[in-house]
Each structure stands twice: as structure tokens, then as C-alpha cells.
Structure 1
Amino acid sequence: MRPGGLRIVAGEWRGRPLRAPQGDATRPTADRTRETLFSMLASRLGSFERLEVADLFAGSGALGLEALSRGAAKCIFVEQDAAAIRAIRTNIAALRAADRCDVRASSALALGPAKQPVDLMLLDPPYHTGAGAVALDKLRRLGWIGDATWISLETAADETPMLKGLDIVATRKVGKAMIHLARLAGAA
């Protein structure tokens, strides 16, 4: 792990270290950004208990593991980088969380139709690529996003995502990142 590396911010595994993938292919979400994101979500969700979560462009898996630490029931981790997949599997094993995790070595754009919508979708795609908006549009059409789904999309602070069929309900700048919370257009 890198010096001053990633840690779980709160919940069951608070303070536990996480391994970041080797190399420059991923950009792990900083602890401060995760803390802000989960504070924003907690004020809207109340609790993470029993939530079904999808962590797309998962990198180290820090976002999904943070949700699990706070009580989420299950998380699907979707990542295509081999080093990142190894880091996710290492982190899951270290936390003894395999029974609550589904790791998919794939692109978020390669996911097929959902059996049911997830409760929380966390996306941290590469900055300045538009990949998050493209993935959300496809996943919305494939049934991954329902009326009750909350979506978090992290972008660079100077990016404004154009989301089809979704409303951005909150944004927060944290350092070089911008967190966008979104819902289906018209969802209560």
C-alpha cells in the first residue's frame, strides 16, 4: 500500500487499510472525497442497511467496500483493469467480505440487463472521458436504475456531465473532484 494510503472511513471496518492498484491506470477516490460522498448519501438515504450496491469503474473497490462497511447487503464491483481487479479481490479477502461481493472483470458498458434495479450506484470513471454518462444512459435502459436508485458520479471539478433521463439533485466540489448525486428524472 502507498504511504498514507486508502482506509475505510466509517462503519464495521472503520480504519482498515485498503490496497490501491499498482500503476497509473486508476485514480483511487481519496478518503476525504469518500467521506463527503457518504455524508451526502447518508443525509438522503438515512441508512445503508440492506442496500444492493453497484461500484462501477471500481478501481480499488473503496466506494463499494465503504458502503458494505456501513451496512449495505451486497455489492457488485465492475472493473476491467487487471491490477485493479487484483486489488479489489485482495481488499475483499482482507475484510472477509466475499459472501457480500460479486466481482465482475468487465467494462461497465458490457453489463447486460439487470434482474432488478440497484439501490445505490457508485461511478468513478476516468475524468474527461464522458464514460460515466455513457454508462449511466445504457444501464438506465437495461433496468439497473429504478425510481428508488441513488446514483453518485464523480468527475473532475471542471466537468459537467450531460445525463440522459436523470436529474442531478446535488453537487459538491471536493479538491479536484466534483461529486454529482442523481436520480431518475421525475423520481421522488
Structure 2
Amino acid sequence: MSRRRHGTQGQDQGKTHHGSGRLRLIGGRFRRRLLPVPDHPGLRPTPDRVRETLFNWLALEIDSRTRVLDLFAGTGALGLEALSRGAGEVHFVEADRMVARQITQNLTSLDVTMPVHPQRADAFLDTRPVQPFNLVFVDPPFRQDLISDCCQRLEEEGWLAEGALIHVETETGLMPRLPVGWHLTRDTQAGDSHVRLYRRESA
């Protein structure tokens, strides 16, 4: 869970490490690879232990057929971790072009080509999905009232496969309005973050 705190431009803000400038992948084929992240205000990867918890939940859910959307990608920590653990396709959406460019460079360093969309999440969701996604990471900037509308659009505009999993991360104390049919399967709190994993009920 890459983490945005307060950002000055809403979705334009990413997530970065406390001064090390490195993202460490913690599992899968790229385990222990260190990747550079930009020196960017408010940007840092989610702590390893929190990411490890999330991907333990997802251990039996990710394989070569899994299509992943990392909607507020920041450093790309979640999408890259899913890729490392065997996801077949990962789309990264990051509004800040410098941060998006670093995701592309990190993918190149891993000898992988995946789509990186340098645009705001709302603009991306204005496009038409070619295929629905099986796993979506929704980790927007905190305290900017972005998450409920984003989740409704994912549900209503064809972005989600039947039985899709949706990771939702919010500030502690916030309970966003989510679509009917999303069932909470796991949740945990870490610092000022509340991490939830939902499964979309099959039609």
C-alpha cells in the first residue's frame, strides 16, 4: 500500500520513502529488488509489514490470469508487488508525470513492459475499459473525499470482473460509501491507515 498523506494537488500526489529513495519488493520473483523512487513531497511506499499482510491475504488470488489496476499508483509499490507475485497484467495510473515516468523506468529495469497511464484517476475512469480487472488497488490521498465516487465508478462503469477483489485504504475513522455487493473479507489498521479488502459479489 503505497501511501499518500495530504498532497497539494489531490491525485497528483504519490507516495515515497522516508529519505531512503528506494522501494524494496518483498515477495515473488523480484523479491528483495531495490527500486528508486523520486524525491517528491508526500510520496512513500507503504511499510513492508503492511504490504506483506495485504499480499498474504492475496496469496491464493494472484496468478498469470490476474489483471490488476493500481489506480493511485504513486511509487507503484502495490502493482509492482502484484507483478512480482505472478499477476499477468498490471495497469498503473499516476497523475504526476515525473512519478509515472519512474514507474516506467522501474518496469524497464525489471525487464517488464506494462501500461503506465500518466493521468488523474478520474480521467482514467472516463475511458472505456477494454477488459474488466480482477484486482484493484484504491489508495487515494487522504482527506480529499475521493474514494466513494471512485469506487462507485469502478462498479457501475464495467471496470470490475465478477468476484473481483478491491483493496481500499483510507485514513483511520473513515468509512466510505461503497457499492452494494462489495463484501468485506479482511481488514487491519496500521498507524493512521485503515486497510480493507473487499470481494465483489458475482452477478
Using the TM superposition, give the Cα deviation of residue 121 of structure 1 relative to its aligned residue in structure 2, in angstroms.
0.4
The alignment status of 1:85 with 2:91, answered yes or no, reads no
- Structure 1 109/38 Cα, relative in aligned 2: closer, same or farther at 3 Å? same
Letter in 2 for 1:107: R
* TM-score, with length taken from structure 1: 0.88
Pick aligned residue for 1:110 from 123, 136, 144? 123
**Structure 1 position 4, deviation (Å):** 7.6
Of 188, 197, 201, the residue aligned with 1:172 is: 188
Where structure 1 has 5 or more consecutive residues not aligned to the other structure, the ranges are none
Unaligned runs of 5+ in 2: 1-16
**Per-residue CA distance 1:24-49 (angstroms, 9 max, x = gap):** 14342222221111111225x2x433
**1:10-29 deviations in whole A, cap 9, x for unaligned?**
00000001222322143422
Cα gap change, 1:171 to 1:187, in 2 (>3 Å): farther
CA distance in 1, matches of 2:194, 2:35: 23
Question: Alignment partner of 2:168: what SS?
Answer: strand
The letter for the 1-side match of 2:176 is P
Q: How many residues align?
A: 183
Secondary structure of 1:42's partner?
Answer: coil
Question: What is the match of residue 16 of structure 1?
Answer: 33
The alignment partner of 1:67 has SS state of: helix
Instruction: Provide TM-score, normalisation by structure 2.
Output: 0.82
Mapping of residues 59-98 of structure 1, within 5 Å: 59-98=74-113
- What amino acid is aligned across from residue 32 of structure 1 in structure 2? R
Going from structure 1 to structure 2, the CA distance change for 1:27 and 1:157 (only over 3 Å counts) comes to farther
Aligned pairs (5 A) from 1:18-167: 18-42=35-59, 45=61, 47-98=62-113, 101-111=114-124, 112-165=127-180, 166-167=182-183
The AA in structure 2 aligned to 1:125 is P
Once superposed, what is the RMSD of the aligned Cα atoms? Answer: 2.0
Of 140-149 and 65-74, the range deviating more from structure 2: 140-149
Compare 172-181 and 20-29 and name the one that shifted more: 20-29
**What is the alpha-carbon distance in structure 1 between the residues aligned to residue 42 and residue 189 of structure 2?**
23
List structure 1 runs of 4+ shifted beyond 4 angstroms.
none
Question: How far apart are the structure 2 equivalents of 1:71 and 1:109?
Answer: 28
**Counterpart amino acid of residue 153 in structure 2:** K
Secondary structure of 2:59's aligned partner: helix
The 3-state SS of whatever aligns with 2:185 is strand
Letter in 1 for 2:76: G
